[in-house]
Amino acid sequence: MNLKVGDKAPDFSLLNQKGEKITLKQLIKDSVLVLYFYPKDETKGCTAQACKFRDDYEQFKEIGARVVGISSDSVLAHQKFIQNHNLPFMLLADIDGKVRKEYEVPKTLGLIPGRVTYIINRQGKIIHIFNSQLNPKKHVSVAISVIKSVSN
């Protein structure tokens, strides 16, 4: 299928860290969505990325964007990750990897779940895709600059 900018983002329904069912439609209802897929809670790169999103979270709020992370970790693992790092945003549990497949997030070296950020507007269209396994913090700065550029 090859998802690209301008495509409609695949809908999904996943549990957040509180065990609540969350859909794409809910997430884009009143804000631009920064949906970032990452490999695993509590790993070095993923922790650095999550903490960078945390540290810049106020900027996302100011520009009218919501940040949501997705990995294959469980609801309980997400609860602990959020507590350990004081994360102010939602994490979704894609335990079977179905949503990751729908978003065509590639694996690194055929093994490691990929790290891709999608920016989705309120109409459900993908307005930017950033893929970088090895530069986790750059996902944050790219997302901020893209959202600022489309909202000006």
Torsion of Cα atoms, 26 then 94 then 107 then 111, to 10°: 170
Classify 21 as helix, strand or coil.
strand
Mode of pairing for the β-strands spanning 107-108 and 32-37: unpaired
Using CA atoms, how far apart are residues 15 and 129, in angstroms rounded to an integer? 23
Active-site residue, from 14, 27, 46, 50:
46
Instruction: Let me know how long the chain is.
Output: 152
Is 51 considered catalytic here? no
Dihedral of alpha carbons 44, 117, 135, 85, sign: negative
Q: What are the catalytic residues? A: 46
